Amino acid sequence: MILWQRPPPFLVFLLAFWLAAPATAEQMPAVPDAAGFGPWLEGVREEALGSGISAELLDRVLAAIEFNPRVIELDRRQPEFTLTFERYMETRVTRDRIARGREKSAEFDHLLAAVGDRYGVDGRFIAAIWGMETNYGSHSGGMDVIGSLATLAYDTRRSAFFRQELMAALRILNEGHIDFAAMKGSWAGAMGQSQFMPTSFHAYAQDFDGDGRRDIWLNPADVFASIANYLKRHNWQGDLSWGREVVLPEGFGAFEAEIAQDRPPRACRRALREHSRQLPLSDWQAMGVRGANGGELPQTGILASLVRPAGNQGPAFLTYANYRAILSYNCSNFYALAVGRIADALLAEPEPSE
Ligand SMILES: [Ca+2]
């Protein structure tokens, strides 16, 4: 039940929870019998050989992997609770993550600027996504990608999706971008510091340093360029930010019908169905919406959707096209707002008390 036309690069736990949410434990398919895994891999080998992957590579890699019951356990895990927006922001946009983001932005200053220039994506957004996905490369997931994907493809729950990802992962090895031993990722196959699924790797990963390998595991230049390219290819507007927090006027409820969407889009519907219609900032200003500090909104035609992640009584945000590019990375309003807030913190001077 993957609902995207293109899979997002990172299947976060929230997403896994969401995928699991409609099913009760009784409805989950039984854990497959590990005894059939070896014979099943023979079929994988045949298919991979037919698509041009070398026999030597397949012999070596397929002999080294096993059915991993831990992956099935993680896939079957039921959500225990859903974080509120406030709690999500407290746990994701931490002082530590911002402080580390400042350190890493300083350390990779020239590289982030060079990548930012090439792709038209401000380096603070690249750093913010890097920080959210893997805490700046320090938590990329230590699971063997081929073993995890083969286990999920052998399982019956989403076998077609994961078999396609498995084939894409074998192609990455066949093309020599990374060695088998270093091809690590999350249990669901999101790989390296940018947490790309293998099909996203083929579509978006970049070789920024020009060594012939697209190395999103160990090479910061390739990691940054891959994140930037993903955003650029999802309609990133280099001269815009992501959006802004706003204050709604008394009696704003009168506009609810006027700002409702005609029809939520098909892609990333889970997050976008919570958005208002896209209207120019000047229209929002005319409705009495103001900046978080009470200031006037810019009188421009920039299109913005209103997002209220904690419901009508909670904080309100006007979000631009770049916010939707962040949603394409990970279809969650909480995630996109956290990325925006970290990116803004990286722009601002640290508070004297910090
Ligand atoms: Ca490279």
pLDDT at 172: 98
Asked if the model's pLDDT at residue 20 lies above 60, the reply is no
Distance from Cα 73 to the centre of ligand 1, integer Å: 35
Residues 192 and 182: their CA atoms lie apart, in Å, by 9
What does each C-alpha distance from 347 to 77, 123, 239, 252, 264 come to in angstroms? 38, 10, 15, 31, 32
pLDDT at 133: 97
Lowest mean pLDDT among 10-14, 112-116, 170-174: 10-14
Give residue-wise pLDDT tens across range 252-298: 999 999 999 988 788 899 999 999 999 999 999 999 999 999 999 99
End-to-end CA distance of the chain: 45
Better-scored residue on pLDDT, 24 or 44? 44
pLDDT at 4: 43
pLDDT at 216: 98
How many CB atoms are located within 10 Å of the residue 276 CB?
Answer: 20
Average pLDDT, rounded, for the chain:
91
Distance from Cα 147 to the centre of ligand 1, integer Å: 25
Q: How confident is the model at residue 306 (pLDDT cuts 50, 70, 90)?
A: very high
Asked if the model's pLDDT at residue 170 lies above 80, the reply is yes
Distance from Cα 205 to the centre of ligand 1, integer Å: 10
Position 28, amino acid:
M
pLDDT at 296: 97
Q: Span 187-207, mean pLDDT?
A: 97
Asked if the model's pLDDT at residue 23 lies above 50, the reply is no
pLDDT at 2: 36
**Domains of the chain by residue range:** 243-319
Q: Note the Cα 111 to chain centre separation in Å.
A: 22
Mapped onto helix, strand or coil, the DSSP state of residue 13 is helix
Q: Span 162-169, mean pLDDT?
A: 98
Residues 141 and 184: their CA atoms lie apart, in Å, by 7
pLDDT at 135: 97
pLDDT at 351: 62
Position 137, amino acid:
G
Distance from Cα 220 to the centre of ligand 1, integer Å: 9
Q: How confident is the model at residue 77 (pLDDT cuts 50, 70, 90)?
A: confident
Asked if the model's pLDDT at residue 13 lies above 50, the reply is no
Are residues 280 and 300 in contact, defined by beta-carbon separation less than 8 angstroms? yes
Give residue-wise pLDDT tens across range 30-67: 888 999 999 999 999 999 999 999 999 999 999 999 99
Distance from Cα 225 to the centre of ligand 1, integer Å: 10
Instruction: State which residues have CB under 5 angstroms from ligand 1, the bound ion.
Output: 207, 209, 211, 213, 215, 222
Q: How confident is the model at residue 140 (pLDDT cuts 50, 70, 90)?
A: confident
Asked if the model's pLDDT at residue 352 lies above 70, the reply is no
Q: How confident is the model at residue 119 (pLDDT cuts 50, 70, 90)?
A: very high
pTM to 2 decimal places: 0.90
Lowest mean pLDDT among 4-13, 142-151, 284-293, 322-331: 4-13
Distance from Cα 6 to the centre of ligand 1, integer Å: 24
pLDDT at 353: 54
pLDDT at 48: 98
Distance from Cα 102 to the centre of ligand 1, integer Å: 25
Q: What are phi and psi of 127, to 5 degrees?
A: -65, -40
How many CB atoms are located within 10 Å of the residue 167 CB?
Answer: 18
